[in-house]
Structure 1
C-alpha cells in the first residue's frame, strides 16, 4: 500500500560508485548468471546492466515513467536487476492478471526490506507481513472490524465535521489564494487521526511534532537500504547517516504510539470501540475469546498502516482531481451541475446523495487512472518458480506492476492521454481488483483493504468543495500552462502546491 523499493537519494550514490564498478566488470561478471542445472530457461527480455549495480542507474526519480519508456521498447514483461535482486516489471493488463489472479498465491509475499523490518515492528502490519496465518488474522481484523462498509459509514460524522472546518477556512480566505494541496493534507490527517484515535493530533506542540514525525516516517519508509540490493555495500547506510535516521524516526514514532496506548489504557474504562485504537485494544485484551492473537507491536504496526495508507494517498487523489478540474473547466462545470442539481437548496451531503452522483465517481475514477497514487503498487516476490506469459520467472524475483502505465495503455483505453471522466459513465469497469486494466489499489490477496475508507473521504470532500464554491486557478494562470510535474516519493504528489481562488456559490 505505501513502500516503494527505491529512493532517489541513492541515485547520487550510484553515480559516484559507477566508475568503480565498471573497472570491476570483468572480475565480477559471473555474479550475474544463475546455474540452472542444465535446464534451458526462457527469461523475459532484459536490459544491458552495469556490474554490481545492474539496472539501478536506469530508475531515475520517477521510475513509473522510466519503466513505461523501457517497456515500449522491450515489451510488457522486462527482467531488470537491482543490484543482486532480479526484478520483473509488468506493464500490461493481461500479464498483471496472471500475476495478481492466476498465480496470486505464488506472489502473495511482499519483497523483503530491512527498512520495513526496522520501521514497522519486524513487519507485523497488514501491508508487508509475510503471507501466512498471522497475516490472514490481521487482514480479517482490518476488513471486518476496521474497514467494513458499516464501520466506514459510522465515521460519516467525522468526515462531515472536518469538511465543514475546511469549508470555513476557504470562506475565510475571502476570494484570496487557497493552498488546496496543504488543505487536502490537513483534512486527510485529521480524518484519519480521529478515526484511528478518537482525537486530532494537528494542534498544539505535541500534535505538530507528531505530524512532523509522521511525515519523516513516510519519507524514510519509501527509502531504499543499499544493503538490501548490494549486501557488501551495507556500510554505505552507516556512512551516509541513513541507518541512524531509520533508528531515530522508528524510536520517535514508537514513543508517540506507546504514549497513545498508555493514555487510553490508563483511563480505566471499558474500551468503547468507537475508533481503530479502541477496537484493536479490545481484541488485544480479549484474545482468548476472539481467537485472534495480537500483541502490542501488532497494534502499533496496524495503526501505522492506517496512517501510511490513509493520509498521503487520500490527499493525493483530491489534489490531482482538483488539478484536472481546474485544467478542464467544462468538466468542472458538468460536475458542479450534477452535485448542485441533486442537492438543490440543501447544504448537507448524505451518503445516499453521494450514491446518486455518478459523474463525481467518474471524475475520481479517471483521476485514479490518470494519476495512480502509488504507480508501481507495492512490490511482491515470487515464492516458487513459475511461468508468466510463457516466460520463466524464478523464485525470489521481485515483481513490480506498473499500474500507472497500464492505466495509460492504448490497447486498453481510448485516448489514454486525455482526462475524460465520461469514459467511466455507463461502464462496469471498477477499481476493486477485478478489471486488470484499472488496478490503482492492486488486486488479489494483497490488494488494498482500505478502498472504502479512502473513497468515502475523497467523494465527500470533493462533492462539498465543488458544491459550495466556484473555482479558478490563482494568479491568472491558464489551465494549459499549469505546472503538472510530479514529486518523487512513496506517493506521487504534485511537485508544486495547487493554488486556486474560491468564490462562494450562492443558490439562485
Structure 2
C-alpha cells in the first residue's frame, strides 16, 4: 500500500514536471530551473539572491525564468537585455508587482515607487520632477546636508580622540547610519529627531520602530503572496500588516498636522518635502494616502541606501590604499587646507566622482532592480514574456560582466577617467539608480550626498584597517536582503589629517 502511494506521488510529480516543461517550450519562455508543484522554485533560491541569479545565469544563460508559486519570474543579467527591458519595452514593462506588505506601505499603489504605470504614476512623477527634486529645492536644502555631514566628522573626531581610543578602530555603520537618518528625516519631515544631548527623542524612537518593523515584515517571502488560495494560512502576518499600517498612518498624520498648523501661524512654506506636498495637494489633486505614500517612499529609499553605498566605498578605499591616497591628493590639491568642504566643491573632484562610480559598479545598494511587471506580452532576448510576468534586472551582474568590463572584480576608479560612463540611466552597463520610466527621481540628490560624505571622510582622516588585520582579510561579502549591507560591519582606524578647528560641529538649526 505504501509502495503504491509512493509510486502514485512520484508519477504525479513526473507528470507535473513534464507538463511544465512542455508549456515552457510551447510558450517559448526563457529556460530555467524546474519548479516544484505549488511552491515553484521558492526554496531553490539562495539567501543572497543576486549571487544566486548570477550562478543560474551561468547554467541557463543571461536570461532565465523561475517560478514563485505559480508566478512566472524572468531575470536578465547583461546590459543588452537590460536595454531591452528598460528602453525598448519600457512602457509595457513599467508596472509593479506588489506583495501584501508592499500594497500596504504604498497605500495600494497610491505612491510613486510601487504605483502601476498610468495616469496616477505620470502625475506623481511630474510632481517629483518639477517640484520636489528640482535643482532649486535641492540647493535650498543643502545647508541641512552639510550640517549633518560636518556633525558626523565631529563625532568621529571626538570618539577617536578620547583617552584610550587613539589608534583604535571604530565601527563606521553607526556614524553613516546616523547622518543618513538625520538627513532624510530633515529633508522629508523637516525634523531632526534628536535632542541636544545626541539622543533620539520619543518621536524619533517611534519612527525607528516603524522602519524596523517595516523591514521585517517586508523582507518576508510568504508563499501566500504567490499562491492566492494559501493566503488564509497567513492570518498572523495580515494582523501585523494592519497594525503597521495604522502606526504609519497615525505617525505621519501627526507630522502633517504640525506642519499645517505652523504654516497657518507663520504664513511661511518651507522647502521640506512634507511642506511642499501639503502646499501642492490641491494643485496636483493629491489624496492624503498619496502624500503619506510619497513621504515613506523617500524615507525607505534614502535611509539605508546612502549609508550602504558609503560603507562599501570606504571598505574599498581601506582595501586599496593607493586609491585612497590618490583621492586625498586630489582633495589636497583642490581644497584649501583650512577650508571646510561644501557641496559646491564636488564638481571639481573628478577622481572622487570616479571612486563613487566604481563603488556603485561593484556594490549597487539595490543589486536587483525593484520588480517590473509586464502589462502586455513582450519579447526579451528572443523569448516570450507573458502579461503579468515579473521581470528583474540583476544590476549587480551587469557591473561585473567580464564581457564589458576589463578586470571586473578589480577596484579601479581610473576606468571612469579613461571612459566617461553615465550612471543616470543612459548606459546600461551601470544602473545603480535604474533607467527609463522608473528611474529614481532622487538620483542627483543621492549622488550629492554620497560624494559629499566621502569627500569629508577622506579630507579629514586617513583610514586604516584595525591593528593586526590585513587589507585582504576585510570581509567583502553581503548580507541577505533587498538592500546589501556588508555582512560584517566595517571597522576602521581614523587618523586626523587637518588642523583641530576644522573638526568642530556646525550649529544645527531645524
- 1:301 aligned counterpart, secondary structure: helix
- 1:80 aligned counterpart, secondary structure: strand
In structure 1, what is the Cα distance between the partners aligned to 2:463 and 2:71? Answer: 48
* Alpha-carbon spacing, 1:112–1:212, altered in 2? closer, same or farther (3 Å): closer
> How far did 1:407 drift?
0.6
In structure 2, what is the Cα distance between the partners aligned to 1:170 and 1:435? Answer: 37
Choose the corresponding residue for 2:53, options 67, 77, 80.
67
* Number of equivalenced pairs: 480
Map residues 65-214 of structure 1 onto 2, 5 A cutoff: 65-173=51-159, 174=161, 175=166, 176-202=168-194, 203-214=200-211
In structure 1, what is the Cα distance between the partners aligned to 2:396 and 2:23? Answer: 35
- Post-superposition Cα deviations, 1:380-433, rounded to whole Å, max 9, x if no partner, equal 111111112211111111100001001100011000011111111142211111
In structure 2, what is the Cα distance between the partners aligned to 1:153 and 1:143? Answer: 15
- Matched residue, 1:278: 275
Which runs of 5 or more structure 2 residues have no equivalent in the other structure? Answer: 1-8, 195-199, 501-510
- Post-superposition Cα deviations, 1:88-138, rounded to whole Å, max 9, x if no partner, equal 110011011011001100101011322211222112111011111111111
- 1:463 aligned counterpart, secondary structure: helix
> How far did 1:206 drift?
2.4
> How far did 1:31 drift?
8.1
In structure 1, what is the Cα distance between the partners aligned to 2:95 and 2:304? Answer: 24
Choose the corresponding residue for 1:372, options 336, 359, 364.
364
- Post-superposition Cα deviations, 1:201-237, rounded to whole Å, max 9, x if no partner, equal 2421221221122122233233333222122221332
Q: Which moved more, 1:221-230 or 1:407-416?
A: 221-230
Which runs of 5 or more structure 1 residues have no equivalent in the other structure? Answer: 1-20
- Matched residue, 1:454: 446
> How far did 1:166 drift?
0.8
Q: Which moved more, 1:153-162 or 1:196-205?
A: 196-205
Q: Which moved more, 1:51-60 or 1:300-309?
A: 51-60
In structure 1, what is the Cα distance between the partners aligned to 2:23 and 2:478? Answer: 41
- 2:294 aligned counterpart, secondary structure: helix
Choose the corresponding residue for 2:243, options 245, 248, 273.
248
> How far did 1:28 drift?
5.6
Choose the corresponding residue for 2:405, options 413, 420, 440.
413
- 2:414 aligned counterpart, secondary structure: helix
> How far did 1:271 drift?
4.9
Q: Is the 8 A contact 1:124 1:298 kept in 2?
A: yes
- Post-superposition Cα deviations, 1:432-463, rounded to whole Å, max 9, x if no partner, equal 11100111111100111111111111111110
- Matched residue, 2:27: 41
- Post-superposition Cα deviations, 1:252-307, rounded to whole Å, max 9, x if no partner, equal 222211110111222323351320000000011xx2xx3x2101111110000001
TM-score of the two chains, using structure 1 as the length reference: 0.90
In structure 1, what is the Cα distance between the partners aligned to 2:143 and 2:239? Answer: 41
Q: Is the 8 A contact 2:42 2:67 kept in 1?
A: yes
* Alpha-carbon spacing, 1:251–1:447, altered in 2? closer, same or farther (3 Å): same
In structure 2, what is the Cα distance between the partners aligned to 1:27 and 1:51? Answer: 10
Q: Is the 8 A contact 2:141 2:271 kept in 1?
A: no
In structure 2, what is the Cα distance between the partners aligned to 1:23 and 1:220? Answer: 38
Q: Is the 8 A contact 2:374 2:391 kept in 1?
A: yes
Q: Is the 8 A contact 1:89 1:402 kept in 2?
A: yes
In structure 2, what is the Cα distance between the partners aligned to 1:66 and 1:35? Answer: 25
In structure 2, what is the Cα distance between the partners aligned to 1:90 and 1:372? Answer: 16
> How far did 1:26 drift?
5.6
- Post-superposition Cα deviations, 1:306-331, rounded to whole Å, max 9, x if no partner, equal 01111111111001000111111111
- Post-superposition Cα deviations, 1:129-150, rounded to whole Å, max 9, x if no partner, equal 1111111111111122111222
- 1:399 aligned counterpart, secondary structure: strand
In structure 2, what is the Cα distance between the partners aligned to 1:399 and 1:53? Answer: 19
* Alpha-carbon spacing, 1:31–1:188, altered in 2? closer, same or farther (3 Å): farther
RMSD: 2.2
Q: Which moved more, 1:26-35 or 1:315-324?
A: 26-35
